[in-house]
Structure 1
Amino acid sequence: MLRSPNRISRFAFLLVFLVMAATSLIRNEVFRGTTNVITWDGYGYYAYLPGAFIYGDIEHYAFAEQHFEDYDISSSIYQLNPTEDGGRFPIYNIGLSVIWTPAFLVTHGIVSATGIAPADGMSYPYQLMVVLMGLLFAFLGLLYLKRFLALFFSDLVVGITLLAVGLGTNIFYYIVEKPDMTHGYLFALYSVFLYYFSKLVMTKSSIGVTSATSTSPPLSAYPLPATHYLLLGLLIGLMCLVRSSEIVVFAIPAFYGLKNWDTFKRNFERTLPIFLAALAVFSIQLIYYKVGTGSWWQDGYAGLSFDWLEPHLLDGLFSYRRGWLVYTPIMTLAFVGIFRLPKAWILPVVIFLIGNLYILFSWHIWWYGNTFGSRPVTQSYALLALPLAAFVAWVLGENAGAERGNVALSPSPSLRERGDVEGGTGHTGRFTSKRSLHLRSLAPLLLLPFIFLNLFQHWQYNQRIIPLDFTNRTYYWEVFGKTSLDKKDRVYLDTDEKMPVGEYVTTELLTTDTLVSVAPKSSREFTNLLEHKVTATEAAGTIWLGTSLAFSYYGDSYDKWKFPSVVTEHRRGAETLKWVQVRIPPTMDTPEDDYLRFNLSLPGLQEGDVVKQYLWNLCQDSMVVRNYDAELLTAGRGSK
């Protein structure tokens, strides 16, 4: 009996999905019955459903206030924008609600008939529905990604790539933790689209081919069923209905195999019906706007903007705040793998990647709020799995598809059923590795560090060791690998520098144990601590300012934007050379008896410069500083 030709990829697929499912059910408290996933942005995608099917209100969404009173959604109803005539509409596209509609109607029917929970669209059964729909689409996404990759690569390569994408990237986080967000659903739609698009072009280009050197008839000689175009158009239309920026997916049918005027005409003839079908699907959004608001179009991004002329590409890719390749470094291998793709795929992948990154990182909030890694790119991992698999195949000594430079071909179903072709590598059949069996067995281990890093940092993010929003290089490396949160490390989020280990000569600027009272903002906003004019002796070498204060803190009115802090200024005349604000509350362990210590570099310190420190209180809490110490630290020979 022949063994299953896809046993490795099947195992990888099931492993990844089961890990996702178990983690999602646990993290979203499904078994406790306290699931609350329709929150923040998710409510903006979801509000269409209760508005249309429960309350019959898609003009004003008056029920939202009750939802926000009864459920922990967000701090304000920012998910609904006002219209000029006094109505409201969800700021996000209707696509996710379209996807959820069948499950929502079934859920609402059961809840209404049984009375097991409030039939308000937000009680536990509705929340559970969203979690289960997220897992259903995770299953479909992984399944079709497996099928898509199997058209080009061996079973081993497909299995490794599924593990790498499913567990080694932050799509895992968004499928598991954010089933109310778009990314897991779009990942699935991309996977389905790529599979059927590949089948379409392979079926057309492989007719009559019997060998690597065969000359096939002109591509236009074989018309394709209209249903193929309709299906692809429906998929792209649904993607754009979920997020309008997914329009970049048209790069795939438009640029696939493009090399001359004939292929340009072929691609135009292929892409046009797909576009028309997609436009028909997207018209659902326009019809909703007309019915709900009286206008064919509403700007959900009112007050927000794109920086088209100055896109934040470097930040989006490499910033420690939320840079894509910083938090998902495994995708650097996909960049390398682009050059190992069959030629027909190189141009569409490159054009898609450039266009997608340009659109996503032109958004003025390029880090996209509180996210783990760069979330807007996660759905594109379905496409980037192709060059990632090409990289893996290259490491293993395999090729992608048939002969490089030719259109990749699909093996016949009969060969696949008999197991004569392993992994769908094309008419060339089973690959013979040019590397040793030892290397082939060790190659998958190359990806394990990336998988471990992604899962570990996912856990760190949930523990807030990696903070929800602001991160920088210094803090990232300070907490790298840590399994517990040390709040004192948070000073690096504000200073973004750490004094090197070494020998320093200390010059005391001020030491006091006189109690300093810090009043609430309503009484006094600023409290001076230090104002020192630098002498000629002090202005020499590499200088750091060391600050330490012990304090007692009273109150809890502070928040993300209103808090007390220590402000340090380095001034030269009227010019401010350095201004750093170190927030106090995030560093506190025991507010009634706590301390704060940090060091700041003073590069280019000169005689006559002024170093100033003061407390700036932006909230109604108060403090008493019991001890305060400031000193200049000059680096000695042992510093590095």
Structure 2
Amino acid sequence: MLMNVNRFFNWLSANLVKTTIGIIILIITITIFVHARYNSSEGMIFWDVKSYYSYLPATFIYKDLSFGFMDEGGFGKWIWPFETITGKKGIRATMGLSVMYSPFFFLGHLIALVTPFEANGYSKPYHFTLAFSAMVYLWLALLLLARVLRRFYADKVVAFTLFAVVIGTNLFFYTTREATMSHSFLFSLFALFLWLTIRFYEKPSIKRILLAGAVAGFITLVRPTNIIVLLVFFLWGISSFKDFRERFLFFIRRYYWVLLMAGAFILVWVPQFIYWYHISGKIFYFTYGEAGGRFFFNNPQIYNILLSYKKGWLVYTPLMIFALVGLFMLPRRQPGQFLPLFLFKLLNIYILASWWSWWFGGGFGLRAFVESYAFLALPFAAFVDFGFRQKKIFRYGIVFVLAVLILFNQFQTRQYNNNAIHWWWMNKEAYWETFLKLRPTERFWIVVTLPDYEAARQGIYRELKSPQALEWERRNMEWFTWRQPIPEDRIILWLTQKFENDSIYSQMMTPADFEKHGPDTAEVAKAKAWELYHEKGYEFWDKEMALEMIIEEVSKKTNLMNSIEKKAMENNLSVDSQLVLDALWLFRHERK
């Protein structure tokens, strides 16, 4: 018996990394079946996925990339085309993800053909196979990433790193609950690109640089801003000016290799260029620009994208703090990795923080960073290796903190699934209202705030109150009467609402006010309310608010309005003017 136990532990030690990957895949598989999103009405083709995926059924089932088949009806739920400058219907997203979905699309299509389900690209079999697509790519990515990490670290470090990066971050969410979003797929492509980069410098060849170029092209086909992965390729292994000079001369001597790499990169894009030309008459077509999408490179939201309660990366994925710490350990531990990874992450943060919607719509945490975890696994492993080498008490302490953060990510994932973390309405007050609570409280829906999308498209970032908050305030305003002096805090609340909802007042909020009081519209409105209140004084605003309340009250009573209309005719006044006069009379004679 003891011998068998020893054999098991020896086997486990020898296969620790493979076993860890197996456990990760098992956890993900179980989670996918538990959530069973593929059985929901929306299934796996939701939000942005409708655009990513629509190339496949349009091409292989309906053979109509102009989407004329939509006129037959029944597709409005599944396809989000837009009208191009030529009047044709088109898809905003590039086709990279459709290529990655394709094996699972064809499998789903085959199942649909041999079962009673409709082979229309959107029935249950397609959703079911798509649900496991990200997991398959992740499995392959972990095998590659393990090979990368094992070049530098012991198996126990590699195993812990892989487990933490998947289970301890929002990569887990984007491989399970929202598996068809782009992020897990891109993580896999990043891992492949990293592997190809390392292999190229171990033994340079035309074949390897062609593969690296093609994968880089494909990464940008999925998300064009990820073109900065090329920094990692060209700067890999450079830790000094001498290294840089040698690398520069290396590629100068082999300039045709770089041209071949560029050719492979562009070749991947050719189908996209053809499609864009078909729908717009242009080879290069910025489809998101027509929807108001743009970058504000002079106003990057660095703090917000990293630390804000709304969608801050390190707030909702705190484990990655240690990847950033590990990044600054690289100059001593793995000097050739620091420059490419540091510059990549720096530019990655800057570019994403400059996008008009820096929170990237709905999602768990800052989802646009997920793909970079394949690169950040290296500095995270450096930190883990550092921790494992410490004395026992410090080693256990570091492992404990990391383990807690892995569990915390799982807890926050459950919170998100239960709406205790909202997909884009979060703020500091809302975060702490549901902190360590699995479900949202009633107050949570009152304190959450909505991003002002129209302002964001102009590079102005402010928040709006939720419908629940506005309804609560409306009810709250009814708890007192105009017949008594109105409390100061009610007047401030009333004025604040004016600044938020009345165009006359909101025009008084200038960019300087937002610079002074911050991006939160509610805070600026409240500050302006106090400013105006002090300018006119209590008596003035008490009277103004009371008159508005009287007018609103009288307007709801038909008999009183009939009387006011009659008096207005007799006095040759407008109904509104007579209403104000009557309100003034009531205020003077019935105010206690």
**Unpaired segments ≥5 residues, structure 1:** 205-223, 398-434, 497-508, 515-528, 539-543, 550-564, 583-598, 616-621, 623-640
Maintained 8 Å contact 2:111/2:125: no
**Per-residue deviation, 1:352:** 0.5
**Per-residue deviation, 1:264:** 2.0
**Per-residue deviation, 1:510:** 9.3
Structure 1 533/267 Cα, relative in aligned 2: closer, same or farther at 3 Å? Answer: farther
The residue identity in structure 1 corresponding to 2:118 is P
Say which is worse superposed, 358-367 or 283-292, in terms of deviation. 283-292
**Per-residue deviation, 1:530:** 10
Structure 1 294/440 Cα, relative in aligned 2: closer, same or farther at 3 Å? Answer: same
Structure 1 225/438 Cα, relative in aligned 2: closer, same or farther at 3 Å? Answer: same
Distance 2:40 2:433 in 1: 38
What are the superposed Cα offsets for residues 195-239 of structure 1, whole Å, 9 maximum, x if unpaired? 2322332x24xxxxxxxxxxxxxxxxxxx3322112212211211
Maintained 8 Å contact 2:104/2:126: no
Partner of residue 51, structure 2: 44
After the TM superposition, which residues 529-548 of structure 1 pair with which residues of structure 2 at under 5 Å, given as runs? none
Maintained 8 Å contact 2:86/2:281: no
Residue 261 (structure 1) aligned to one of 245, 251, 254: 245
What are the superposed Cα offsets for residues 327-367 of structure 1, whole Å, 9 maximum, x if unpaired? 11111111111122211111101111111112212110111
Maintained 8 Å contact 1:45/1:96: yes
Residues 1:250 and 2:180 aligned together: no
After the TM superposition, which residues 89-168 of structure 1 pair with which residues of structure 2 at under 5 Å, given as runs? 89-112=90-113, 114-168=114-168
The alignment-based identity, stated in percent, is 29
Which of the two has greater helix per residue? 2
Distance 2:247 2:363 in 1: 41
Residue 381 (structure 1) aligned to one of 373, 382, 385: 373
Distance 1:65 1:388 in 2: 52
After the TM superposition, which residues 448-597 of structure 1 pair with which residues of structure 2 at under 5 Å, given as runs? 448-494=403-449, 567=497
Query: In angstroms, what is the RMSD of aligned CA positions?
Result: 3.7
* TM-score normalized with structure 1 length: 0.68
Residue 19 (structure 2) aligned to one of 11, 16, 39: 11
State the aligned residue count.
Answer: 486
**Per-residue deviation, 1:568:** 6.5
The residue identity in structure 1 corresponding to 2:431 is Y
Distance 1:325 1:512 in 2: 41
The residue identity in structure 2 corresponding to 1:324 is W
SS of corresponding position for 2:379: helix
The higher-RCO structure (CA 8 Å, 6+ apart) is 1
Partner of residue 36, structure 2: 28
Maintained 8 Å contact 1:250/1:271: no
**Unpaired segments ≥5 residues, structure 2:** 1-6, 451-462, 464-475, 550-555, 557-592
**Per-residue deviation, 1:389:** 0.8
Maintained 8 Å contact 1:55/1:63: no
**Per-residue deviation, 1:485:** 2.1
The residue identity in structure 2 corresponding to 1:126 is Y
Maintained 8 Å contact 1:35/1:124: no
Structure 1 273/484 Cα, relative in aligned 2: closer, same or farther at 3 Å? Answer: same
**Runs of 4+ off more than 6 Å:** 529-534, 546-549, 568-572, 574-582, 599-605, 611-615
Distance 1:133 1:396 in 2: 34
Distance 1:265 1:281 in 2: 28
The residue identity in structure 2 corresponding to 1:296 is I
Distance 1:242 1:530 in 2: 63
Maintained 8 Å contact 1:59/1:88: yes
Partner of residue 608, structure 1: 537
SS of corresponding position for 1:320: coil
Maintained 8 Å contact 2:56/2:102: yes
Distance 2:483 2:446 in 1: 19
**Per-residue deviation, 1:476:** 0.8
Distance 1:106 1:7 in 2: 32
Partner of residue 62, structure 1: 69
Maintained 8 Å contact 1:17/1:142: no
**Per-residue deviation, 1:116:** 2.3
Distance 2:329 2:167 in 1: 23
What are the superposed Cα offsets for residues 572-628 of structure 1, whole Å, 9 maximum, x if unpaired? 9x978999879xxxxxxxxxxxxxxxx99987875815478789xxxxxx9xxxxxx
After the TM superposition, which residues 214-293 of structure 1 pair with which residues of structure 2 at under 5 Å, given as runs? 224-258=204-238, 259=241, 260-266=244-250, 269=254, 272-291=259-278, 293=280
Residues 1:321 and 2:310 aligned together: yes
**Per-residue deviation, 1:271:** 5.1
What are the superposed Cα offsets for residues 265-310 of structure 1, whole Å, 9 maximum, x if unpaired? 3256465543331121122211222345543233211232111221
Distance 2:449 2:499 in 1: 14
Distance 2:412 2:111 in 1: 39
**Per-residue deviation, 1:457:** 1.1
